[in-house]
């Protein structure tokens, strides 16, 4: 099996490189293995701690991200900022040099941070952004609220957002990737979001602004979702509780929920999630294509395609980010050679590869 080799980067002086493609690609290189090669430019050198905006939250230099991702891999962020509240986040972004890349990070449920880390300020929302309130059929949740908690809180009030119960991660991330299951997507219950722009301004965005698509939205780079408003259908709380328990049982029977994974690894070429119905075709589902290519259970280093569900990439305990991404790329090659179809990553991959020793 081939192994992904990334470009080498300096290991010192955070923010000396602006990792943004001159063509306008992602500054964090999450669109592919190396979209920014040869396109780096120097940032201002006044990026020492004393020159960063003052905060009331927590700002940590060279913070390892491995313990903040579900796959438990990845190098450090140049800076990790955990704002105290909305005003703290606004003030920080407004005062931060506009050339400095900013990466919003949820709970790391759908993320591979490469072994060299992220040359950016990583913003991770916490307790100041996880409140959930229900008013009639409207559910307002802070972006850091877990999908499962939103589903349960809504169900207690008789509002059906039950599909969220088995989706890993936070509600802000679920909106960003238009998460869904059982044939229901965030777009189907979406009302609006509150965001903070890269310049620190607060805005409200609607579905027209986001242009929801299968596992995609048009949220501008560096903008941070802080609050989400959803609208569900009325239903009996006991019925919803039973519905969610049934969903959890089905998930636990078919997915490696006890392993370190990041959910589905690849998007379905069919362009939609499994519906869970008896007439749901599996011919263009990612797991079926992986099975047909003989890659169920495939191993590279400490990474493995789950024997239980072949579209789940798992860390068996010793994997590096390079192992995980390398195995994923091997799967994509084998599927293409077998079927002529190209699997697209559903897991976001960010940062830079670790420099060779």
Which residues are identified as catalytic? Answer: 215, 264, 346
Residue 333 carries which DSSP code?
A: H
Please list, in sequence order, all residues whose beta carbon lies within 8 angstroms of the beta carbon of residue 68, skipping any fewer than 6 positions away: 105, 107, 108, 124
For residue 120, what is the enclosing H or E element?
A: strand 118-124
**Is the distance from CB of 338 to CB of 291 less than 8 angstroms?**
no
Query: What's the CA dihedral at 98, 218, 196, 35 to 10 degrees?
Result: -30
d(CA 123, CA 223): 10
- DSSP tag of 110: T
Q: What is the DSSP track for 266-330?
A: B--TTSS----STT---TT-HHHHHHHTT-TT-EETTEEE-SS-TTEEEE-SS--HHHHHHHHHH
| Rounded Cα gap, residues 222 and 40, in angstroms | 18
Burial letters 167-196, b for 16+ CB under 10 A, else e: bbbbbbbbbbbbbbbbebbbbebbebbbbb
Yes or no: say if 315 and 306 are a contact pair by the CB < 8 Å rule: no
Place of tokens 């001159």: 22
Helix (H, G, I), strand (E, B) or coil at 216: strand
Q: Which two tokens stand for residue 21?
A: 């493609």
């Amino acid at each position: 099996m081939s192994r992904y080799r990334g470009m080498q980067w300096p290991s010192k002086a955070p923010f000396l490189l602006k990792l943004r493609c001159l063509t306008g690609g992602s500054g964090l290189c999450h669109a592919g293995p190396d979209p920014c090669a040869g396109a780096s430019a120097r940032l201002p050198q006044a990026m020492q701690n004393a020159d960063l905006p003052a905060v009331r939250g927590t700002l940590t230099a060279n913070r390892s991200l491995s313990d903040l991702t579900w796959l438990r891999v990845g190098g450090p962020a140049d800076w990790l900022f955990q704002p105290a509240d909305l005003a703290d986040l606004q003030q920080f972004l407004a005062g931060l040099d506009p050339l400095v890349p900013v990466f919003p990070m949820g709970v790391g449920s759908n993320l591979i941070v490469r072994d060299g880390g992220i040359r950016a300020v990583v913003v991770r929302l916490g307790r100041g952004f996880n409140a959930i309130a229900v008013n009639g059929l409207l559910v307002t949740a802070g972006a850091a609220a877990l999908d499962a908690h939103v589903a349960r809180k809504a169900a207690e009030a008789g509002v059906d957002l039950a599909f969220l119960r088995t989706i890993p991660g936070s509600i802000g991330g679920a909106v960003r990737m238009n998460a869904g299951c059982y044939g229901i997507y965030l777009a189907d219950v979406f009302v609006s979001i509150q965001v903070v722009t890269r310049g620190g301004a607060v805005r409200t965005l609607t579905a027209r602004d986001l242009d929801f698509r299968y596992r995609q939205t048009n949220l501008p780079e560096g903008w941070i979702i802080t609050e989400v408003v959803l609208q569900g259908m009325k239903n009996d709380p006991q019925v919803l509780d039973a519905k969610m328990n049934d969903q959890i049982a089905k998930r636990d029977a078919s997915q490696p929920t006890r392993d370190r994974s990041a959910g589905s690894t690849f998007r379905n070429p069919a362009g939609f999630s499994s519906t869970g119905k008896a007439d749901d075709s599996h011919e263009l589902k990612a797991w079926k294509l992986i099975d047909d290519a003989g890659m169920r259970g495939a191993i590279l280093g400490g990474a493995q395609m789950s024997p239980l569900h072949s579209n789940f990439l798992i860390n068996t305990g010793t994997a590096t980010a390079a192992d995980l991404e390398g195995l994923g790329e091997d799967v994509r090659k084998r599927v293409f050679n077998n079927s002529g179809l190209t699997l697209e990553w559903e897991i976001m991959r960010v940062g830079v590869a670790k420099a060779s020793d």
